[in-house]
Structure 1
Amino acid sequence: MSKILIIIIAFLISNCCQGQDNLLKKADVDSICNQEVYGTKGYIKNLPRYICIPDGFVIDDYIRFSDKDKNGENDFIAIKYNKKEDDQIDGDTTFWDFYEYNIEDSIFDHKCTLTNIVPLYIQSISFAYLAKNPFAEELFNKYPRRISHSLSFIVKHDTLRLSYKMDDVYGKTFIFSYDEPEGNWFLKEIEYFIGELPSIWWQNNEFYYSLRNSLLVIEKIKPKKNISIDQFNLIEAFRYREIEIGHLSEWHIDRIDETTEKSILEVKLDNCNGILLPKDWIY
């Protein structure tokens, strides 16, 4: 047998074994990787099979993809997960995993797990439930309220927006920008909004109907510190919510004449002198 033929056969055997090895690795990943979701798996169809969440948890939200460097290719993935709904108790944590694309290995690397950007779980925020459960009431008074998945976490290119409600009417959005040299997201601006209003506001009033499932920014402010997202503290962020709510109501919503326009979206909100906040207010 010629040396050339021996080399060709050896090459084919090597490729065959490598292919079998890759198939075994894929089968192994498929068997151990947890990508369990609520309902259909349709919204995670583009999630790489090697990206997994811990056992006992489920993906609770749509996967967020972004193109941070704006080159036309997604290089960022964010995944939200928590315990199954029936297994959650008051005070349980919700997690966000951030992944970034590694050009050298052509895969998404896990960068961090955040436990600080979603309010701790409360089974119910009804008055009856809170009155009977002091721990739940304590959490309710410390943390902001959650809003819908589609509005709470929005990422586009290198800008990330986290939104929360302060009460039934008003809320805050924290805008983070990605710093490439630091490899992290930093708080750059805060928006105050009115939105995702309860039915009592729009059921018999078309003026506010457009805000039943959307947000309207009514004021903006700069944070005192451009804090990184992993150091962001929700309790600190809503420490002075009563002052902020009072200001937004007095300077904006209470001054609207609903007879002059058909919708709040057509109203030109009055300018004001800004919120008078305590000296130790940070963001």
Structure 2
Amino acid sequence: MPAKGQILVAAVLVIGLIVMSALVTAYRAHTLFLRARGAAAREAVSAITVDFERALAAMLALATRTRFDHDRFSDFTARFEELGLVPGDLESAKLVARRFLEGWEAAVRVVYAEKGVQVEWFEGVVDVTHLLGKPAYVYDLVLLDWYSTTSGSYVCAGLELNFTSVGLYGWRVLSLVGLTVSIDEYSAASNTVRIRVLVANGTYYGNLANRGWVEVYYQQGGDGGWVKAEVKDVTYEGFGYYRITVDTELPGETPFIVVASDERGILVVSRAVTPASPSKGKAKG
């Protein structure tokens, strides 16, 4: 091959290598940009979702506390009376929750405006049959299914997000926030009630003794009056199970309720009846 031809081929190869190198560099830079942008989007979406679930938990705590004993928790519940909360009324608590979530939505839009975040919350439906052991659905925002052997408090809502600055559109998530309490058994021999506590969609809750609280009430005599038993000890046995020791032996076939709260302030009230015999046995619903 003539020298001139060899020089031309070499020049073409060098130019090709330079172009390929530039393309690889540009591709790497673009990939790095996309990764950084994707990480920023994931971080923002995660932060918004976590904050949304905190807002849902606060509204469920409001609904459960006003339903159980509005005056007892008035330091919290009374704040929402000017928003339309009627003491003890679940429907008004739902109305307040919707207004609160609308305010939360507006605040998120302001905070993330520079990042091009568009957010909208919506009400959803979720099946909680597996939690309550009977056909049950959370709709109309809040479900308080109380006074059964297995009872629960739940709120269900979702988020739809657009993150225009990173090209993320139509991202949706449906959140279930809740607490489930099951009365497993009552033992007259040791004056203990065994319960199981689950959070969200069935996760074991292990913080009742140190971050939440539990109370036991029993029906005394034929007048139907409820007496609060003194809780002497709460022992966590694992897998969401607790053994609660009270100061009083409950007679056979005595109705009793267990009121439990997690650290978020969400309450559940479960009800059972002690077995007819004084021996250890399953509590009746």
TM-score, normalised by the number of residues in structure 1: 0.29
Structure with the higher helix share, 1 or 2: 2
Structure with the higher strand share, 1 or 2: 2
Higher RCO (CA < 8 A, seq sep 6+):
2
Q: Which has the larger radius of gyration?
A: 2
